Amino acid sequence: MIDRNTIPLIPRQVLFGNPDKASVQLSPDGTKIGYLAPVGGVLNVWVGPANHPAAARPVTRDTDRGIRFYDWTYTSNHILFIQDKGGDENWRLYSVDLETGETKDLTPLEGVQARFQEISPQFPAEILVALNDRDPRLHDLYRINIATGERRLVQKNEGFAGFVTDRDYRVRLALRVLPDGGSEMLRATEHGGWTSFARIPTEDTLTTSPVGFDTAGTILYMIDSRNRNTGALMALDLDTGKQTLLAEDPRADVSDVVIHPTEKRVQAAAFTYERKVWQILDQSIAGDWAALRTIATGDVEVVSRTLDDRYWIVAYIMDDGPVRYYRYDRAGQKAQFLFTNREQLEGLPLAKMHPIVITSRDGLNLVSYYTLPPGSDSDGNARPDEPLPTVLVVHGGPWARDTWGYNPWHQWLANRGYAVLSVNFRGSTGFGKALINASTSEWGAKMHDDLIDAVHWAIQQGIANPQRVAIMGGSYGGYATLVGMTFTPEMFACGIDIVGPSNLVTLLESIPPYWQPQVDLWATRVGDHRTEEGRAFLTKRSPFTCAHRIQRPLLIGHGANDPRVKQTESDQIVQVMQEKEIPVTYVLYPDEGHGFARPENRLSFNAVAEAFLSKCLGGRCEPIGDDFTGASITVPVGADQVRGVPEALSTK
């Protein structure tokens, strides 16, 4: 049996610092490779020869938040990337000319959010972009020249949630949310108007959506759950109205689609229940897929393809190791290993992630994942030798999900001696509409019951010590944490809320203006803040209302510029706790938004969280050390509640 205390602490810097390389993409012509990598500790775009990635050099010059999303244009000589200010999510779009090195701001507009709409090989010098410059609630479509920045209005938004376009930059469909929470797809007419194309019932809204068009523009690919439970992949002939089923799974929705880069036919579809499983639909890639399975272990992802489809970038996802990237040559079915995304993870004592299906009290199947500390399971039966302090990590959304694979939070907490549990509670996506629809009007109720049921399962299985269970999460996961601390105050030994809403009325009253086209969806699924009855209901489901019930230690983290969950959501519950003299530690970042993007800020918050958990649950703890260096961290309330924080603040 391994003594868990002899297993070395994995530094937070290794787990939560910048990756070595990420978002690996080939240029459309296959001559270049791009990826994100740090420059002076800040993520930037690097570009080099496709056959010699080691020769890559940085082509962007971000010195602040780091670039998190970029893409190639079809010139293969320009890179596009987006950046906001301090987490405000008013994304600006930039173009980099790889020949001259010039970076051009394509959307030099204050307080405006740019969204990628379409990048097409038909128009390599132009892209289609959505901007809410005319009305902050609505994104109009523009064609923008990537060299000059000249933009031309293509489609004025008259109240739609979004548009579906084709590779010819034609606006084919408009999407809008209906008053009952359902949605409608409208088809563009020849005279600039709209006609109803398809209505999607409320129960199918979150499991039915368009994917894109074939090359001719006559076939619309859709994920569709109408007349079934799970979202299947369908092909809809726009001329005849005939629908053809391409792929389905009775347990899971379509989670990924592989489409030919020029012919635009669907070649494969993935379904993720416990693990990701691919269905190959096009035999022309069946041999490639068979070859890829022999190259490395892990879940296979094709993350980039050249326009001629000769070269692919393939990623192999592991639960106990870094992502491994290969450049695959289809001509000889040979793969060249490139690099991993985090070389420092190699050889470390990382833990396996175990999938498990937990049954809720009313019979729903909740696909969940748990991780045990290395050395805690001497007989290898996926159960610890003794019940462990446990952290329940709740995903955000809530219309999102947890998946199998390398998870830095699981590895971090398991390395510190905790069992870690993540649950796809009702409302999680990917498992069919029945699980999602079971969450309607159940924030703070049955959605929370699912989490409690999962904790009871872990206790019954001898995994969790019932006296030492923590709850933590971000966004909806932060709300779930506050619900746990207020609605079931004796269940959890402590809680960590990151950018979570405390008052559902003020949350919905302060949503970003560009969420307004979807407000009826929120009103139907969560509660209607526009009616007296709805406000009373939302108030009852708000942790703020019963903050006085909190009995156990609480740590709260927030970004001052959060456009989704305003800082007020944390301020107001902290204020109540202070008035009631209930201990709370409040960490605030003046240069962050909905989550902590700067690695210095992530490290500083996790250093506080680790010390907090160690005090509450008794796990191992790496000293804060210099993890506050370069961070904008402030602790307006309760710094003295967490060991080492006052000292680290004084020397930051």
What confidence tier does 2 reach under pLDDT thresholds 50, 70, 90?
A: low
Dihedral pair phi/psi, residue 458, rounded to 5°: -65, -35
DSSP code of residue 187: E
Beta-bridged to residue 242, according to DSSP, are none
Asked whether the predicted pLDDT for residue 1 surpasses 50, the reply is no
DSSP letters, 492-556, are -SEEEEES--S-HHHHHHT--GGGGGGHHHHHHHT--TTSHHHHHHHHHT-GGGGGGG--S-EEE
| pLDDT per position as a tens digit, 301-334 | 999 999 999 999 999 999 999 999 999 999 999 9
Structure tokens at 98: 């790889």
Q: Give the separation between CA 147 and CA 263, rounded to whole angstroms.
A: 27
Residues of each domain in the chain carrying CATH 3.40.50.1820: 353-651
Please state the rounded mean pLDDT for residues 144-155.
Answer: 96
339, 319 in Cβ contact below 8 A? Answer: no
CATH fold for domain 12-191+284-345:
Neuraminidase (2.120.10)
Please state the rounded mean pLDDT for residues 414-427.
Answer: 98
| pLDDT per position as a tens digit, 209-255 | 999 999 999 999 999 999 999 999 999 999 888 999 999 999 999 99
Q: Compute, in degrees rounded to 10, the torsion defined by CA atoms 187, 190, 194, 197.
A: -30
Q: How far is CA 629 from CA 13, 42, 473, 612, 651, in A?
A: 12, 14, 24, 19, 9
Please state the rounded mean pLDDT for residues 389-412.
Answer: 97
Asked whether the predicted pLDDT for residue 296 surpasses 90, the reply is yes
HEC secondary structure over 565-580: CCCHHHHHHHHHHHHC
633, 605 in Cβ contact below 8 A? Answer: yes
| pLDDT per position as a tens digit, 540-590 | 999 999 999 999 999 999 999 999 999 999 999 999 999 999 999 999 999
What confidence tier does 6 reach under pLDDT thresholds 50, 70, 90?
A: confident
Residues of each domain in the chain carrying CATH 2.120.10: 12-191+284-345
What confidence tier does 3 reach under pLDDT thresholds 50, 70, 90?
A: low
36, 44 in Cβ contact below 8 A? Answer: yes
Beta-bridged to residue 80, according to DSSP, are 71, 95
Q: Give the separation between CA 92 and CA 112, rounded to whole angstroms.
A: 8
Q: Give the separation between CA 231 and CA 101, rounded to whole angstroms.
A: 44
Reply yes or no: is the peptide bond before residue 398 cis, omega within 30 of 0.
yes
Asked whether the predicted pLDDT for residue 347 surpasses 80, the reply is yes
Edge-to-edge strand list for the sheet holding 311-317: 299-305, 311-317, 324-329, 334-340
Q: Give the separation between CA 74 and CA 90, rounded to whole angstroms.
A: 25
Q: Which residues are catalytic?
A: 475, 562, 594
Does residue 193 or residue 110 have the better pLDDT? 110
* pLDDT for 192: 79
CATH top-level class of 353-651: alpha beta
* pLDDT for 625: 93
